[in-house]
Chains A and B, each alone.
Chain A
Amino acid sequence: MTLPRFELLQPASVGEAVELLASRPEAISLAGGTALLVDLRSRRTAPPALIDLGRIGDLRGVTQGANEISIGAMTTIAELLNHPMIKERAPLLAQACATFGSPLVRNRATIGGNVVHASPAAELAPALLALDASIEFKSVRGRRLVRAVDVWKGPGKTTRKADELVTSIRIPHAAGRWGHAWRKLGLRKADAIAVASVAVRLSLRDDGTCDEARIALGAVAPTPLRVAKAEAALAGKAFADERVLEAAKAAADACSPIDDVRASAAYRRRVVGVLVRRALAEAGLGGR
């Protein structure tokens, strides 16, 4: 099916892009297009203008700073998946990239697009939550950083203002030893939207005490979410099976899934606890 008509604006720099976003509030930013072009074809959205971010070289690539890794918003999932710095510093994100769509989609889809599209099932969202990532927004008014936990507000909704451009995703360096795990359940192994997904990170001491736990869920609520109660079941305590079961139950209790074509709410609630339990068991091994 043909795409609806729109004006295509192609800024060459971040400066030009934020000027356009300020002067054309009705325009929508086009990143990798793997979600937006599908939405346009189905007429789910029909903006008069698209702002193609593909010509802005500054929005691509991964750089390492003293305290964090900075990932340009237009960096593709395939680039992240194969990036040595991501593999070394944020392997949890690399794991989520490996289950993202298909290899074809990964060559187009971008991390910034995945954040802004704000699907409850956004593939990278649980990993970004567990990594305590921040999202950098720029506009003609200035720049701000928003923690991932504060970014998503509902299906398709973020805290981004209409004139703001996502420019980078920042992942803080982690001190000490962390175990991590990513679990995604889809209806098929490849090119599947998550029925439920779980990303966890655990900071574990040599004596087996869990200093800090981060447990993030996808596709089981209107937004990806972290579950404070599940994390509290583990933090500051000896890492043990009973604590893991307690955390898994807290995670299942905290979610508010829907019935849809992929799974029932009841199934999602049930399975997310299983995924949390398995993810914690794997993460617990990695941190030692």
Chain B
Amino acid sequence: MTEKKITLRVNGRTHELSVAANASLLETLRALGHVDVKSGCDKGDCGACTVLLDGKAVPSCLVLAAQADGATITTVSGLGTAEHPHPIQEAFADAGAIQCGFCTPGLILSTKALLDANPDPTEAEIREAISGNLCRCTGYAQIVEAVRLAAERLASEGVARPGAILPGEVARADQPIRRGGEMP
């Protein structure tokens, strides 16, 4: 039996699929059109293919689609879109934590998993939580700052969702954004 019938719930939508036994979750999600899940090293080293699998951040290249049968999967576009971004996505944009964007989906999902479990992380906890996601452009200072900013915004806004915050408005916020290499 080389084909497997599986059910995946991806970003709220249920898919009944027939997948090859050797199909990875990464390949399967991208074939479904979820190209926001990036294909990087295929070895679990880079974190570009991170998805939330039943709420846990995992490298989807190291999961067979058949192993994810019945699971609920969230990709970065399941958190929010360009029109309706999630506060974590806004924080990454506002903190300058995005350059080429290839690592961003994975980093944002690792951040989501962190903040779901630990809404007020220390810098050490932030750095640990994103340690499986490699960025080759911006460096990590702005990314750590983005996670901190996201945590603060999520804590202060509660359930209410404001509209997108423009970069110009951030300078007036209580928390100054550090750019460059300095860390708190």
Contacts and interface: CB of A to CB of B under 8 A. Distances in A.
Interface in A255-270: none
B24 interface: yes
A63 interface: no
Contacts of B57: 103-104, 107
Nearest to B55: A107
- Give the interface SS of chain B, mostly helix, strand, loop or mixed: mixed
A190 B125 CA distance: 12
B4 A8 contact: yes
B56 A52 contact: no
B70 to A, nearest CB: 10
A184 B62 CA distance: 25
Given A8-B4, A33-B63, A38-B62, A105 B22 contact: no
Contacts of B42: 1, 41
A10 B128 CA distance: 34
B22 A101 contact: no
Contact of A107 (B20, B24, B58): B58
Q: How large is the interface on A (under 10, 10 to 19, 20 to 34, 35 or more residues)?
A: 20 to 34
B62 A190 contact: no
A102 B131 CA distance: 6
Interface string B120-151: 00000000110111000000000000000000
A32 B58 CA distance: 11
Contacts of B47: 102, 104
B59 A6 contact: no
A275 B42 CA distance: 33
A59 B26 CA distance: 26
B22 A4 contact: yes
Given A2-B22, A191-B132, A8 B44 contact: no
B99 interface: no
Contact of B67 (A5, A6, A52, A78): A52
A190 B50 CA distance: 17
B1 interface: yes
B27 interface: yes
A191 B67 contact: no
Given A3-B22, A102-B47, A8 B58 contact: no
B66 A105 contact: no
B116 interface: no
A102 B62 CA distance: 13
A105 B132 CA distance: 8
Contact of A104 (B1, B4, B21, B132): B132
B110 A103 contact: yes
A103 B2 contact: no
A54 interface: yes
Interface in A1-38: 1-8, 10, 30, 32-34, 37-38
A101 B22 CA distance: 24
Interface string A124-156: 000000000000000000000000000000000
Given A37-B62, A52-B67, A105-B132, A191 B22 contact: no
A103 B66 contact: no
A1 B22 CA distance: 11
A104 B44 contact: yes
A237 interface: no
Nearest to B41: A38
A33 B2 contact: no
A33 B110 contact: no
A38 B64 contact: no
A191 B106 CA distance: 15
B4 to A, nearest CB: 6
A189 interface: yes
B105 to A, nearest CB: 13
B43 interface: yes
Interface in B35-66: 42-45, 47, 50, 53, 56-59, 61-64, 66
Interface string A189-224: 111000000000000000000000000000000000
Interface of A: 1-8, 10, 30, 32-34, 37-38, 41, 50, 52, 54, 78, 101-105, 107-108, 189-191
Given A30-B64, A30-B67, 16 more contacts: A3-B64, A7-B1, A33-B63, A33-B64, A78-B56, A103-B57, A103-B131, A104-B47, A104-B59, A104-B110, A104-B132, A105-B44, A105-B59, A189-B131, A190-B128, A190-B131
